[in-house]
């Protein structure tokens, strides 16, 4: 059903992720018969897609269309039922946690709700330093605590938080600052890929703009590949290079932003595009 839609004309960037035939289902416990296993609901119905290196790919779709599930499979918080997830040519869809651990350094994630994703009992610098500590242990023996703390503070600086914030607890920050900490943690390991799942939906409009422009400039600076999940097509249009439109676990559109926005293939996309007031965002945001 889902025809892979590629855009060969302008897209020479090699793919960081190649996903082929991705299927995932959840048990439907509401309709479980008494003495039989629960029936399964298919959430991802055989997806094929590529995420080009060094580009931002937006993923949109209505609530429940499987965006977060797809993202969680990419960073392997979930294991698909079938299909391949090729990361630089290596299939990671069936690796176990021990085999994934060295790869995780390259696959980072920024969460929707920083209140939940930042441990309330840890100071900000510790939150950022924890993954650093885990991955530096192997290569450089015995990096001191002070050194690690400095690294964390440098990461905080890159997202525009000065070192004083390192000593705070997450609840002592504003929403925008919290989300910056989430970004700092994700970039501290210098990953190739970042999954950003609705990272601005809890923020007010001006913090949204700041966080998005920060993400954009970091992406350029660090040559990041980003999967950007959002409800907001106007944000996607301004931030992303490519866009994938999901509907009920199937891909409706997959192509560059200009291509999809100017010539949408499906009626549903057309409806989505019509439903949003497009010239809402100012390009100055991303300068």
Partner 1 sequence: MADVSLQTTPRARSGRRNLRLWLPLAWISTLVLAAVLAPLIAPHDPLYQDLFLERLPPFFMAGTEPGYWLGTDSLGRDVLSRVIYGTRIALCVSLIAATATCLVGSTLGLLAGFFGGWWDRVISRLIEIWMAFPPVLFAVLLVAVMGTGLTSVIVAIALIDWTRFARVIRAETMVQAQMDYVDSAQIGGARRLTTLVSEILPNVLPSIVALLMLEMGIAVIVEAILSFVNLSLSSDVATWGSMIAEGRNAIHFAWWVLLFPLIALFLTVLSFSQLGEGLKQRFDPVLQ
Ligand X SMILES: Nc1ncnc2c1ncn2[C@@H]1O[C@H](COP(=O)(O)OP(=O)(O)OP(=O)(O)O)[C@@H](O)[C@H]1O
- Interface map 50-89 toward ligand X (x if CB under 6 A): -----------x-xxxxxxx--------------------
First to last CA, the chain: 41
Q: Which of 68, 117, 179, 259 binds Mg ion (CB under 5 A)?
A: 68
| Residue 43 interacting partner from ligand X, partner 1, Mg ion, none (CB closer than 5 to 8 Å by kind) | ligand X
4, 21 contact by CB (below 8 A): no
The least distance separating ligand X from the CB of residue 28, rounded to whole angstroms, comes to 8
CB 70 within 8 A of CB 47: yes
Q: Which is nearer to ligand X, 30 or 146 (CB)?
A: 30
Which residue, among 111, 117, 101, 20, has the nearest Cα to 68 in the 3D structure?
111
CB of 108 to Mg ion, least distance (A): 17
Binder of residue 65, out of Mg ion, partner 1, ligand X, none (CB less than 5 to 8 A by kind): ligand X
- Summarize as ranges the residues that interact with partner 1 (CB under 8 A): 75, 77, 97, 101, 104-105, 107-109, 111-113, 116-122, 130-131, 134-135, 169, 171, 185, 189
Nearest distance in Å: CB 62, partner 1: 22
Within 26-45, the residues that bind ligand X by CB under 6 A are 26, 43
Decide: 69 and 32 in contact? Cβ < 8 Å: no
Q: Which of 75, 67, 83 is nearest to 23 (CA)?
A: 83
What burial class does residue 60 get, using C-beta atoms within 10 Å of its C-beta: 0-12 exposed, 13-18 middle, 19+ buried?
Answer: buried
CB of 41 to Mg ion, least distance (A): 16
CA 163 to chain centre: 26
The nearest distance, CB 240 to Mg ion, in angstroms, is 17
- 114 interacts with ligand X by CB under 6 A: no
3 state DSSP class of 98: helix
CA distances from 113 to 16, 74, 116, 206 (A): 27, 19, 6, 17
Give the one entry of ligand X, partner 1, Mg ion, none that residue 64 binds, where binding means its C-beta sits below a cut-off of 5 to 8 angstroms depending on kind: ligand X
Between 74 and 128, name the residue whose CB sits nearer to Mg ion: 74
How many angstroms separate the Cα of 227 from the Cα of each of 31, 193, 199, 209? 33, 8, 11, 18
Q: Which of 158, 162, 175 is nearest to 222 (CA)?
A: 158
CB of 247 to partner 1, least distance (A): 26
Q: Which is nearer to partner 1, 184 or 233 (CB)?
A: 184
User: 3-state DSSP call for residue 264?
Assistant: coil
Q: Which residues bind ligand X (CB under 6 A)?
A: 26, 43, 61, 63-69
């Amino acid at each position: 059903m889902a025809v892979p839609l590629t855009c060969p004309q302008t897209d020479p960037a090699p793919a960081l992720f190649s996903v082929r035939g991705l299927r995932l289902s959840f048990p439907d416990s509401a309709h479980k018969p008494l003495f039989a296993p629960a029936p399964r609901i298919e959430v991802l119905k055989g997806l094929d897609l590529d995420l080009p290196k060094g580009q931002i790919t937006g993923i949109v779709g209505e609530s429940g269309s499987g965006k977060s599930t797809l993202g969680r499979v990419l960073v392997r918080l979930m294991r698909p039922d079938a299909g391949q997830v090729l990361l630089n040519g290596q299939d990671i869809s069936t690796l176990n946690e021990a085999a994934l651990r060295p790869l995780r350094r390259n696959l980072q994630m920024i969460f929707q709700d920083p209140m939940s994703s930042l441990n309330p009992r840890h100071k900000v610098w510790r939150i950022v330093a924890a993954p650093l500590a885990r991955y530096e242990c192997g290569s450089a023996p015995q990096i001191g605590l002070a050194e690690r703390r400095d690294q964390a503070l440098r990461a905080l600086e890159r997202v525009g938080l000065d070192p004083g914030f390192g000593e705070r607890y997450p609840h002592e920050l504003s929403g925008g600052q919290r989300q910056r900490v989430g970004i700092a943690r994700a970039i501290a390991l210098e990953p190739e890929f970042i999954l950003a799942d609705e990272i601005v939906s809890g923020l007010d409009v001006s913090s949204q703009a700041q966080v998005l422009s920060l993400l954009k400039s970091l992406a350029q600076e660090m040559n990041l590949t980003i999967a950007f999940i959002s409800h907001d097509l106007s944000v996607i249009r301004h931030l992303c290079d490519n866009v994938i439109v999901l509907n009920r676990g199937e891909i409706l559109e997959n192509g560059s932003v200009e291509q999809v926005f100017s010539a949408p293939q499906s009626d549903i996309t057309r409806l989505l595009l019509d439903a949003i007031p497009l010239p809402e965002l100012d390009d100055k945001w991303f300068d």
